[in-house]
């Protein structure tokens, strides 16, 4: 098994293409377990996504979607639970209010599925299995 960097404050989190959007982490990192002074993300990490669009259609939602990242670390824990790591992802999330151009340029509601992933952990010193 490869060692993967543990996610800390300052991580880069993205919507997996072909969708795009702005992702915000809603959970608070550990105040005790830190790497280079940055708190480690642990247990259930919640996020919200706004300005969702599907690159192919250029669709944009009117609201946001939210979900939780799935932790894949095995036997690696902080003071409060399992640690989140680089490349951990969410389960697919449905963004129900997506809109795209319909007949006569009218807006047609549709549903798109998005996935969110930690692209960069925010540090590369501390890793886990």
Q: Where are the domains of the chain?
A: 4-124
pLDDT at 89: 95
Q: What angle do CA 121, 82, 65 make, to 5 degrees?
A: 65
Give the pLDDT of residue 88: 94
Q: Which pLDDT belongs to residue 97? A: 53
Q: Which residues pair with 54 in a beta bridge?
A: 19, 59
Q: What is the pLDDT of residue 57?
A: 58
Does a cis peptide bond (omega within 30 degrees of 0) precede residue 18? yes
Show pLDDT as tens, one digit a residue, over the chain (129 residues).
Answer: 678 999 999 999 999 988 888 999 999 998 888 999 999 998 889 999 988 877 665 556 556 789 999 988 877 777 668 889 999 999 999 875 556 566 666 666 667 788 999 999 999 888 877
Structure tokens at 19: 């969708």
């Amino acid at each position: 098994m490869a060692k993967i960097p543990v996610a800390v404050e300052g991580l880069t989190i993205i919507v997996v293409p072909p969708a795009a959007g702005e992702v915000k982490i809603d959970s608070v990192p550990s105040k005790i377990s830190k790497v280079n002074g940055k708190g480690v993300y642990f247990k259930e990490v919640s996020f919200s996504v706004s300005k969702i669009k599907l690159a192919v259609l250029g669709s944009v939602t009117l609201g946001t979607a939210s979900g939780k990242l799935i932790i894949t670390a095995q036997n690696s824990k902080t003071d409060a639970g399992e640690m989140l790591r680089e490349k951990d992802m969410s389960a697919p999330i449905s963004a129900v209010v997506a809109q795209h151009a319909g007949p006569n340029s009218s807006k047609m509601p549709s549903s798109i599925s998005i996935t969110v992933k930690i692209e960069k952990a925010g540090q590369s010193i501390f890793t886990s299995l």
